Structure 1
Amino acid sequence: MSSTMSRRGFLGLALAGATVAGLAACGGEGGAAGVRKGGAELSKKLTLPAYTAAKIPTPDLPIDAGQDPAYLKYPAELVKSVAAPPGDGKKITSLTQTWDVAPPAPGRNAYLQELSKALGSEWSMNIVVGDGYPDKFNAIIASDDLPDLVWFPPNQGLQRVPELLEAKFHDLTSHLSGDAIKKYPNLANLGDVTWKSAVTNGKLFGVAVAYSRFGQVFLVDQDYWAPVGGTSFTSADDFLDKAKQLLDVKKNKYPLEPSYYNHVHMFSHWYGAPNTWKLAGGKLTHQFETPEYQAALELAVKCFKANLFWPDPALATIKDKVANGQIGAYVESFPGFLNDAKTQKYNLGAIVPFAATPGSKPVYNAGLGSVGFTSISKKVPAERVETLLKVLDYLAAPFGTEEYQLVNFGIEGTHFTKKDGDLAFTDKGAAEVPTTQQPISFVIGSPSALFLPGQPERTKLIHDFETKVAPMLQERVTTGHFSDTYTQKNGELSTMGTDMVVDIVTGRKPLSDWPAFVKKWLGKGGEAMRAEYEASIAKG
């Protein structure tokens, strides 16, 4: 896969933490902070930003198992988290991306104008629409005409990031590590999982962009599965048998969307495969080497042979087919789960991982907890760094604050209305806010929260899913550890893995070819990654 990706690929695969092609690192795991220059040794000395929970309205549902704060109605009383506009009156420029259409121009964008007023500085974005962020990024770096804030995505193959950060961006470690972060309360609320992805060569060269820590989700139309008793399965064989019962080629009804690699990832949860790497006694084993992953691959082969996947692998309108009752299950990112809960009319549900066999221990792979980090250019005078951090702190305000409401919904009466605990965009709000807020959300994000206007039952559905999978959650053991080979070779290795999985699932190659492929994959760079990660882990 190329370094650029579709919106669904970007959100559904990379950000959710799936091990799929295109996951070249910019920090946190693998690449942005290579072992070179003593990165692992420096990381041992780094104190991550001290976590301090933000003041938010009391959630309506429990958060005792690590669930996101959930609200069945919009909070009646909001918290004010920033006392005064943090800006200095000067324009703030940023480089970012959107997978939506370009927002209205600033002169015609009341939302952006009001946001700039609240920030105390004009917020100006250089936005890449759709694919092409690496090209734009490289062109701007080459020109040395850097904006104030530059977003480093986690999955688009940016090269030589450690050297670039050292040369052209401020080291923010003294501003952010340990208790220093307390000057920025909303940034202090992001937590360790998010901040680990912003570590580069043992330093913090950027502000982590918060994103869900919950990974990919196996979503379903519950009505589709109702004839077989729903989506509670006792084993992989039970799943396979029930899916076969629902197949109806004459009526164009197929249980599974045609995303073969993603389905292997979902199946691997049921067998208890590791989240990319397994660590035991200081030694790493890649998921490709495990019998659990191979069992998941074998199950996908059985699904293909049984004709359970939609027959056109290039299908682009998956949600339409689900809504029409033609596809029963599909794989999405956790934020995609939230979005579908807000927008889709079918009887949405999610499959909770279960034991594939009597001896299996089901798991649920955590996401990275961030979508990269945003750095401050050295073009910015050192005395202005604190101002920009305060602006990012404003934009990172959590749900239930006045600042979050402005950033995510705009101006009451102009962009949204409130009624009976619900909130709804006006036509002007729908035209201005989502398209403007999405590129902002890649520069800086807020911790996840569950609120679906007018849909309390779906909010409960998502919270229930989080409650069930939280005990199964497994983080990536390599997060915060680094490998030069990952930066240099992961694009090639990921493509190799994806292509081989697809070839085997679709029958172009036999399952018996898998061990030889794994040996080849390790020889092409997997072994080098293993050694570098193990060295980094051993040093702390």
Structure 2
Amino acid sequence: MTNTFSRRSLLKAGLGAAAVAGLGAGCSSGGKTASGASGSFTVPKYIPAETFPGAITSKVPGVPLGYSKYPRPLVKTVADVPGKGGKVTSLTMTWGGQPKPLTGNKYWEGLNQRLGVDWAPTISPADGYEQKLATMLAGGDLPDLMILRPCAATNTALRQGAFANLNDVLGGDGISKYPHIGWTRPEQWKQVLVSNNLYGIPLDVPISNQQVRIRMDWARKLGFTKPPANADEFHQFLTAVPKGNVGANGGKAFGLATFSGKGGGNIFVNEMFKVPNVWRQDGDKLVHMFESDEFAKAMEYSVKLWKDGGFHPDALALSQQNEKELGLFTGGQLPILSISIAGWYQAPYNAVVRASNGGIVPYVVPGADGGTGTYWLGGSVYGLVAVSAKAAKKDGRLDELLRVVNYLKAPFGSAENTYLMNGAENDYWTWKNDAPTLIDEDKFRADSAALYYGYRPNVWYVAGEPTAAKEMIAYCEQVVQTGVSNPCDGISSTVADRVQPVLDEVAGNYLNQIVTGRRPLIDLKAFTDEWRNRGGNQMRDDLHKALQER
């Protein structure tokens, strides 16, 4: 599990395309480990997710199911209460607030009743998740279930045996005891292996989880009749926005919100110039994006765009301030944003879209010379849920915890998933226009918060918008056609864990200074040389060896 920039880590609607970490091996959530002893693993049998009448199924692997209408009647898909009555602790994260206390919280009380346990999550703010995780791992007293996302602390803990090995429990037909875990696709299991050992259950995300939207209402005010179709038109649009007083109430607006040196620059520009998705295989050679001719062209473009006012003046800082970036868009100060496809149909983004009267439209980033750019694909996994090795040693405890996870991963439209997403009928929702409709959305959000974040399947459905699911599926299929994967996805590199902080610092120092004009563009050569010498070449050799052993 390596810590790197990928669309996969941009799961939440609250994370824009600028959310970055380092650019190392692959944004894996485990994967084949370079230079490590291998275990014996059999891919779990694939058990297709249960669907209900009206399901829209894509023929493209990794594109979620969709529903234009909510399934009815609700079908129970878990026969027995999974828990035995004790406490189950967990670690998860939130981009919002904490739930109201258990006492008097009908949702939490109902969740405990349905799971048959006292569900006791530690819910970390997303911005502080890595620190919280590192603190827990260092202390050694781990929760029963932990959502793990890519970072060096996770990698070390996985290799050192902090979590239960699930090879024998879930491998092959073993998964049959937990059918809702079984809809995990074979390639997703392979992405979370560590030295061919399975230490967790993949957390699902669409292979293409992001949608870019652009403010065509502003473009028309500025004299553009269609969305930018190449790099020159993109430059013209972005540099015109700050000069045109097209923002909210005729106020100031900006161009691109973010630039991150350690994250490789700006995702829109990189995709436009078809920069490799972190790594690219050229025959038998492994090439990092920083070494590519495409990246050099993207940087040259970014330098000119910055100089001409096409970036927000605080773009370097905003690359680490996702909430602020999102607030700039919803506040009418940014012309373009990438969030999760489903996020555009949720508050507060759906309200902004509606208020634009058709002015905010889906956008596929074009190629620099026209046509289409290259979309960076993820691997349909953004992390995993792992079981504490200590908890798993207790008689019957591992089976109980897996049964709880199986419940939390119940299919969309089932009785179980409907409770998880909406609470109990009449307490929190009623049927309205053939869909569960919240009676008081603020109260439900306050009670449920992030109590079970991360487990549910990705399915696209928007109440009251029968065309939404088809629109989301169509966009996803469109960008997947031009998408490129990182060949190192699913490889966990100990070398990358060791050298990545140094490489991040090198990239941040050079690229941030180059884009802002404090270093000349010609220093890209010195940058790539230093990047290779400070650990890039070591990381490449480690990954190349692992690729050959696949």
Sort the TM-score into its range (normalised by shorter chain): 0.7 to 0.9
Letter aligned with residue 255 of structure 2: L
Aligned in 2, Cα 1:310/1:129: closer, same or farther, shift over 3 Å? Answer: closer
The match for 1:463 among 473, 488, 501 is 473
The match for 2:177 among 175, 178, 183 is 183
Give the equivalent residue in structure 1 for 2:20: 20
> Aligned partners of 2:233, 2:492: CA distance in 1, in Å?
40
> Aligned partners of 1:150, 1:176: CA distance in 2, in Å?
18
**Structure 1 position 378, deviation (Å):** 2.7
1:187 partner SS: coil
> Aligned partners of 2:118, 2:326: CA distance in 1, in Å?
38
> 8 Å contact 2:82–2:115 — kept in the other structure?
yes
Q: How does 1:514-529 map to 2 (within 5 A)?
A: 514-529=524-539
> Aligned partners of 1:352, 1:467: CA distance in 2, in Å?
12
Structure 2 length-normalised TM: 0.85
**Structure 1 position 125, deviation (Å):** 1.0
Letter aligned with residue 431 of structure 2: K
> 8 Å contact 1:19–1:276 — kept in the other structure?
no
The match for 1:452 among 442, 462, 480 is 462
1:37 partner SS: coil
> Aligned partners of 1:28, 1:9: CA distance in 2, in Å?
8
Give the equivalent residue in structure 2 for 1:377: 388
Give the equivalent residue in structure 1 for 2:286: 284
Aligned in 2, Cα 1:434/1:522: closer, same or farther, shift over 3 Å? Answer: farther
CA RMSD in angstroms comes to 3.4
Tell which deviates more after alignment, 71-80 or 302-311. 71-80
Tell which deviates more after alignment, 113-122 or 155-164. 155-164
> Aligned partners of 2:269, 2:373: CA distance in 1, in Å?
10
Give the equivalent residue in structure 1 for 2:216: 222
Give the equivalent residue in structure 2 for 1:98: 94
Letter aligned with residue 386 of structure 2: S
Give the equivalent residue in structure 1 for 2:120: 124
Pairs aligned (count): 525
> 8 Å contact 2:85–2:117 — kept in the other structure?
yes
Aligned in 2, Cα 1:50/1:270: closer, same or farther, shift over 3 Å? Answer: farther
> 8 Å contact 1:353–1:469 — kept in the other structure?
no
Q: How does 1:495-510 map to 2 (within 5 A)?
A: 495-510=505-520
Superposed CA deviations along residues 186-227 of structure 1, whole A, max 9, x for unmatched, are 111121343234211211111222223225443323322334
Give the equivalent residue in structure 1 for 2:70: 74
Give the equivalent residue in structure 2 for 1:330: 337
Unaligned runs of 5+ in 1: none
> 8 Å contact 1:16–1:212 — kept in the other structure?
no
Give the equivalent residue in structure 2 for 1:55: 50
The match for 2:308 among 293, 306, 309 is 306
> Aligned partners of 1:288, 1:98: CA distance in 2, in Å?
33
The match for 2:230 among 222, 232, 235 is 235
Give the equivalent residue in structure 2 for 1:355: 367
> Aligned partners of 1:145, 1:30: CA distance in 2, in Å?
22
Give the equivalent residue in structure 1 for 2:377: 366
Unaligned runs of 5+ in 2: none
Aligned in 2, Cα 1:232/1:11: closer, same or farther, shift over 3 Å? Answer: same
> Aligned partners of 2:406, 2:67: CA distance in 1, in Å?
23
**Structure 1 position 33, deviation (Å):** 6.3
Tell which deviates more after alignment, 309-318 or 103-112. 309-318
Give the equivalent residue in structure 1 for 2:399: 386
Give the equivalent residue in structure 1 for 2:297: 295
**Structure 1 position 329, deviation (Å):** 1.0
> Aligned partners of 2:209, 2:134: CA distance in 1, in Å?
30
> Aligned partners of 1:64, 1:105: CA distance in 2, in Å?
44
Structure 1 length-normalised TM: 0.86
Aligned in 2, Cα 1:474/1:311: closer, same or farther, shift over 3 Å? Answer: same
Q: Which has the higher helix share?
A: 1
Aligned in 2, Cα 1:248/1:324: closer, same or farther, shift over 3 Å? Answer: farther
Letter aligned with residue 421 of structure 1: D
> 8 Å contact 2:166–2:198 — kept in the other structure?
yes
> 8 Å contact 1:205–1:375 — kept in the other structure?
yes
Letter aligned with residue 196 of structure 1: K
> 8 Å contact 1:153–1:372 — kept in the other structure?
yes
- State the identity as a percent: 27
Letter aligned with residue 386 of structure 1: D
1:537 partner SS: helix
Give the equivalent residue in structure 2 for 1:438: 450
> 8 Å contact 2:256–2:311 — kept in the other structure?
yes
> Aligned partners of 1:132, 1:117: CA distance in 2, in Å?
30
